Amino acid sequence: MPPPVLKKLSCRRAAAIVLAFMISTLVPVARSAPVHLVEQPPVQIAAVMSNVFLVDFGRVAFGNLQLNPPTNAAGNITVRFGEAIVDGRINRKPPGSVRYAQVEAALDGNKPLVVEPPADKRNTGQPQAVLTPQELGVVLPFRWVEIEGWPGELRPGNLYRRAAFASTWNDNAAAFHSSDEMLNRIWELCRYSIKATTFAGIYVDGDRERTAYEGDAYLDQISQYYTDGGVQIARDTFDRLLKHPTWPTEWAAHMIFIAHADWMQTGDTNWLASRYAALKTKLHLEATRPDGLIFSTDRQVKHDDLVDWPDGERDHFVFEPVNTVENAFHLRALADMADLARALHQDADAADYSAREIAGRATFQKNLFDPVRGLYRDGEGTDHASLHASLFPLAFGLVPAEGRAHIAQWLAGRGMACSVYAAQYLLEGLFENGEASNAIALITAPDDRSWRHMVESGTTITWEAWDQNYKPNQDWNHAWGAAPANLLPRFVLGVQPLAPGWTRAVVRPNPGALKSCEGKVPTPLGPVLVNWENGDRFKLSLTLPPGMSAQVQLPADKNSTGVFLGGQPVSTHRDAAWWILDQDVTGTVTIEAR
């Protein structure tokens, strides 16, 4: 029986507290995925004034510094670490949560010296902060170092950065290269952002808090699958979040998304089975009305229902007790939970979740869709139709087939009226519904709400927000802003799993206006290699690893008349703008739409 104090709490918050009592018996103790220090030499050293050297390591990484002084070195030096530079010097008063630190150190002959920045109570002294392993020392995100007082000339062999990354990270696991050089630079920025933010062995929300959040973790997880293929950090983050859940309402649904993505990536039901009971509490079934929609309490309306973050990125969303975004997440979570229940042979649960999802879909469409505008309202009791009220239903497959094109076109026309977080789902909906050209255009747009803007700013890890203007306290090392790391291989290369463990995949390139693209997607069975050319004919060269088959779908323009496999006609059927091969392919194939 729950403690009496729970009677004063909302049902969802009470369930979270009960879960905290239960969780130690439901899942194994979480551990950090292995992290190690990589010795990185500087890429440039410059004397900026007498006795002051500026050292550039090329990219930001979380780490500290090792100095190797010359023989007979003595005296004190000042070491400054920084993420930002201004007028050729480290910015000592950077904006927001951009990092700067200064340390005094003493040289003693040629003894090696590790210089660590001071610990920051904001990200190491808070109860929910993820602490890095003690053997790493204190780490800070920095690209530049200034050293003042160094005896003589500072040479490359005198120092290196000790950068923290997941020890299992494979820089060669994935690749992406298209005919658009800016898109290639964006891919590399986002790929490296995922790598650089593995420093804690748990997905964290940047350096300001170093806290694990469910929404961040899901975006990081699917991006790591497409850049490195590793699964351990996502699993360890999941287990931590079972014990330390956070406050946004829809973050609970993201726990189900994480578990479903793990199952699709690995096919591992053993890991899933020991966490299934805990996952069931994330559905918040106690908040379901008889008609299948969920409702929010006053506290949730005012505080917990997120929709987007920061709040200035919500496109003036009107919060109501029955909230379209929260219900879209609920319905997607029910569908995913039905899949997981079937995988675990929990047939009664699967039937229940499916029935709830079907009933909820019908009410969702009846109560929240405006047939005159062809858009979704923000909730019951308002006629306001924000970007978010339609982007999440489209991304989650809730829009009936006849309404998808209109909503996708409307969303594309509205532009990036959401945050870097919601952009993941906005772009998924556009890529999946015939708006690939507009999706790529939004990613590379020449304004301050795009990844092109990040690249051109000079950052080497993605930001928490589109620009300092939109979140003045933002981190410059936030992996939830790295969505193209997964979007480009999933939709432009076009590679996604169709069956758990990647035993069956779908290859469906979305070229938009691109002329060519090639890349490598890591999977548990081995890499998938893709090379396509988009000209008068669409030509795809594909190599699948042993044990994987793939359904291939090729773009079909109005003049296209058929598909050839290895130069021979092959049986297909046409579905709108796609040629779909009737038989799966294996091994290495060349397929051409003429």
> Can you tell me the distance from the alpha carbon of 255 to that of 238, in angstroms, rounded to the nearest whole number?
7
Listed range (1-15, 254-268, 365-379, 554-568) with the worst mean pLDDT = 1-15
What confidence tier does 33 reach under pLDDT thresholds 50, 70, 90?
low
- Evaluate if residue 117 carries a pLDDT over 60: yes
Q: Do domains 35-166 and 500-593 have the same CATH topology?
A: no
Strands (E), 489-527: 495-497, 504-507, 516-521
Q: How far is CA 50 from CA 75, 80, 154, in A?
A: 16, 16, 12
Give residue 126's pLDDT. Answer: 84
Per-residue pLDDT tens digits for 427-461: 999 999 999 999 999 999 999 999 999 999 999 99
Q: How far is CA 160 from CA 41, 85, 156, in A?
A: 5, 19, 8
Per-residue pLDDT tens digits for 321-360: 999 999 999 999 999 999 999 999 999 999 999 999 999 9
What confidence tier does 137 reach under pLDDT thresholds 50, 70, 90?
very high
What confidence tier does 29 reach under pLDDT thresholds 50, 70, 90?
very low
Yes or no: say if 41 and 79 are a contact pair by the CB < 8 Å rule.
no
What confidence tier does 24 reach under pLDDT thresholds 50, 70, 90?
very low
Q: Directed axis angle between helix 436-443 and helix 401-414, to 10°?
A: 30
Give residue 576's pLDDT. Answer: 87
Yes or no: say if 459 and 449 are a contact pair by the CB < 8 Å rule.
no
Within 10 Å of residue 28's Cβ, how many Cβ atoms? 11
- Evaluate if residue 307 carries a pLDDT over 60: yes
Within 10 Å of residue 546's Cβ, how many Cβ atoms? 8
What confidence tier does 34 reach under pLDDT thresholds 50, 70, 90?
confident
Helix (H) / strand (E) containing 423: helix 420-432
Per-residue pLDDT tens digits for 69-86: 999 999 999 999 999 999
What confidence tier does 127 reach under pLDDT thresholds 50, 70, 90?
confident
Give residue 122's pLDDT. Answer: 84
Q: What kind of architecture, by CATH, is found in domain 176-496?
A: Alpha/alpha barrel (1.50)
Give residue 19's pLDDT. Answer: 44
Give residue 451's pLDDT. Answer: 98
Within 10 Å of residue 126's Cβ, how many Cβ atoms? 12
- Looking at the DSSP bridge assignments, the partners of residue 56 are 44, 144
Give residue 543's pLDDT. Answer: 98
CATH number of 500-593: 2.60.420.10
Block residue for tokens 């094109």 = 405
Per-residue pLDDT tens digits for 519-577: 999 999 999 999 999 999 999 999 999 999 999 999 998 889 999 999 999 999 999 89
Yes or no: say if 532 and 583 are a contact pair by the CB < 8 Å rule.
no
Angle at 125 between CA 120 and CA 131, to 5 degrees: 85
CATH number of 35-166: 2.60.120.260
- The full length of the chain comes to 594
Q: Give the start-to-end residue ranges of the domains of the chain.
A: 35-166, 176-496, 500-593
Per-residue pLDDT tens digits for 212-246: 999 999 999 999 999 999 999 999 999 999 999 99
DSSP letter, residue 211: B
- Evaluate if residue 591 carries a pLDDT over 80: yes
Per-residue pLDDT tens digits for 148-196: 999 999 999 999 999 999 999 999 999 999 999 999 999 999 999 999 9
- Evaluate if residue 290 carries a pLDDT over 70: yes
- The pLDDT of 133-138, averaged and rounded, is 92
Structure tokens at 349: 């649960």
